[in-house]
Structure formats: C-alpha cells, structure tokens
Amino acid sequence: MYLSQLKDGGVICRQGESARLVPGFASTYELAKAAIAAGTTLADCIASRGEGELVDLPALAAAGKLDCPVRHPDAAHMFLTGTGLTHTGSASTRDSMHADTVGMSDSMKMFRMGLEGGKPKAGERGVQPEWFYKGTGVNAVASGEPLVSPSFALDGGEEPEIAGFYLIGKDGTPFRLGFSIANEFSDHVTEKINYLYLAHSKLRPASFGPEMLVGPLPAHIEGTSRILRGDKVIWEKPFLSGEDNMSHTIANLEYHHFKYDLFRQPGDLHVHMFGTATLSFADGIKAEDGDVFEVQAGAFGLPLKNPLARAAAGNPDVTML
C-alpha cells in the first residue's frame, strides 16, 4: 500500500495499479491522527472509509499536483533529521572527503562502531549513530519542485536516501506511518573544509515522495540516482539500502532519535533520513543550476525528481530593537 497527498488537499491510496482518493481526509496527517485515535492501522482506517474515486497517479505527478506524502499543518512542528555512516560503503565515501586525516578518521571510527554495535540482540540497545538536523517543514520539498541552494552555499549535491515518517501520539508514543525515497540535499564542499562544518552543510532543503510505502521497510532495496543536464544524463549510479545493506537496524536508529523527550511531543511530525553510500560529489561531479536530480527505487513507486536552483543574494543583517 502506498499513500500520496495532493497539494490542493486529498489523500490517495494506491494498491497495485489502482489509485483512489481516500474519502473524508484532506491530508495524510489527518488520516494518521484518525487511525491513532481509533487504535487501528492506516490500512484499516482507509478500508473503513470505502472506495473513493479512481485517479491517474502518474498524470497527477507529471502535472506537479502531488505534495510530500505527509506534512504537518504547522511547518514549525515538522522536524527533518537524519543519520549518517549507516550504510556499507558510506564510510569510504565520507573518508575520501578528509583524505588528509592522520590515522583513522572520526568517520571511519563512527562507521566501525556501527558495524560492531548497530544491530543489537533482542532486548538490548545498540550504539548510537551520527545524527544531524536539517530544519523544519519549511525545508520539506515535493517532487518536481526545485531544491534551492542558499546564495552563500559552496555546492549543492544530492544524497539518495530512505526517509521514515512518524507522528507523535497524545501520550508521546511515536507512530511510524511509512517510508519514502528522499533526496537529502547537502553542501559537500562546505563539509569537506572541516568535518565540524557538517551541521552547516545539512541546513538545506530535502525532498520526499511522491509515494509513501505503508508497512515494513524491505530488507534489501535497489535504486538508481542520476543527474540530468538538459536531455543528457551526466552521472548515474545504483544505490542499495535496507537493513541488509546497513550497519544499523532501523529500530536502533529510531530508538536513538526518539529517546529524547524533545522529539516525543504530541502532535509533532518527524521525517528521519537513514543515510546513504552514494554521492555524485565523490565522483567529482559538480551540479549546476537547472540540473535535475532523480532518485528512483522500485519499492517506492514513482521517482523523485527535483531541479537545482540557487537563491538570490541578500541575507538580512540583524537589526537592533
């Protein structure tokens, strides 16, 4: 089962090739709240509403009418976060950005910690991963919309990832809604200057969707990340995800995010990205304005496509009151 959200209001449920509107809900957020309140699953909540109108999902996507699969009605209560160094190959990619490090880099140390303790036995807690913050729902971008790089940015590059969506219940319980593909857009040139600039490099938009997979994450995911310049593909590479290709379990990554009371505030929406091992930057590619990033994985339905753009200069100075 897959869920999509219309920008003008409405939720679409796709099962197989059949995509229908879900009667009675203007947003996936409302649907999720209703399911939690009823003590039921998303699937059962949808089934209880009966079959809605059939829609042409690819046509809606092509027309730019699909939003991120879930949004909070107040962007300030939607948190975009993620974990790095979680995938096989991610350490070597990150390590190559800091080739002048003497001895083992902190990236490699963190990755090895994950290999040794990121998949704990039942009833045990695993090692905590690297963690980063990307902003609020203001930075959540739908497929087809531009990923806007700040005027001061040194670079704007893609990171193909899987994102999990979570709604916090009234008692502080995190409820996982599902997963989508994501582009965790970052400034890798800034990050390469010094690893401590990682936080700055992540404060960028990220794109999600257009379909959210409801249910468990497949253990093995195969996808493709590419960059198009006009009609020409200038870079393309496969990527792997899912726990079979990770040094952490999804449950361990979720635990180390939601162990903080701050992230268990009722009604808040969290979108958490689980890392990548594939970057065009690592292959010497520099994306240009107008280039289109495309991330595709069969397990997540329609592809995610976003052009690169740059914001105009003019950051306001602080004014004394």
**C-alpha to C-alpha distance for 65 and 67, rounded to whole angstroms:** 7
pTM above 0.85, yes or no: yes
Tokens of residue 245, six digits: 């290709």
Instruction: Specify the pLDDT at position 236.
Output: 98
Instruction: Specify the pLDDT at position 105.
Output: 74
Q: Which residue has the higher pLDDT, 88 or 249?
A: 249
Cis before 210? omega within 30: yes
Q: What is the mean pLDDT of residues 223-227?
A: 97
CATH number for 71-310 (one of 3.40.50.300, 3.30.1330.20, 3.90.850.10, 3.40.630.30): it is: 3.90.850.10
Alpha helix (H) ranges present in the chain? Answer: 28-38, 42-47, 57-62, 90-95, 106-117, 188-193, 198-202, 250-258
Confidence of residue 85 (pLDDT cuts 50, 70, 90): confident
Instruction: Specify the pLDDT at position 270.
Output: 98
pLDDT(148) > 90? yes
Sequence spans of domains, the chain: 1-67, 71-310
Confidence of residue 113 (pLDDT cuts 50, 70, 90): confident
pLDDT(235) > 80? yes
DSSP SS3 for 34: helix
Instruction: Specify the pLDDT at position 107.
Output: 72
pLDDT(111) > 80? no
Instruction: Specify the pLDDT at position 101.
Output: 54
Q: What are the CA-CA distances from residue 241 to residues 247, 277, 297 (Å)? A: 11, 9, 10
pLDDT in tens, 90-109: 555 555 555 555 566 777 78
Confidence of residue 122 (pLDDT cuts 50, 70, 90): confident
pLDDT in tens, 304-321: 999 999 999 877 889 999
pLDDT(253) > 60? yes
Q: What is the mean pLDDT of residues 181-185?
A: 97
Instruction: Specify the pLDDT at position 115.
Output: 78
What is the average pLDDT score of the chain?
Answer: 93
SS3 of 203-254: the string is CCCEEECCCEECCCCCCCEEEEEEEEECCEEEEEEEEEECHHHECCCHHHHH
Instruction: Specify the pLDDT at position 239.
Output: 95
pLDDT in tens, 17-69: 999 999 999 999 999 999 999 999 999 999 999 999 999 999 999 999 999 99
127-131, 167-171, 205-209, range with the lowest pLDDT: 127-131
Instruction: Specify the pLDDT at position 110.
Output: 76
Mark residue 190 as left, alpha or beta (left: phi above 0; alpha: psi -120 to 50; beta: remaining): alpha
**C-alpha to C-alpha distance for 138 and 75, rounded to whole angstroms:** 6
Tokens of residue 120, six digits: 């704990």
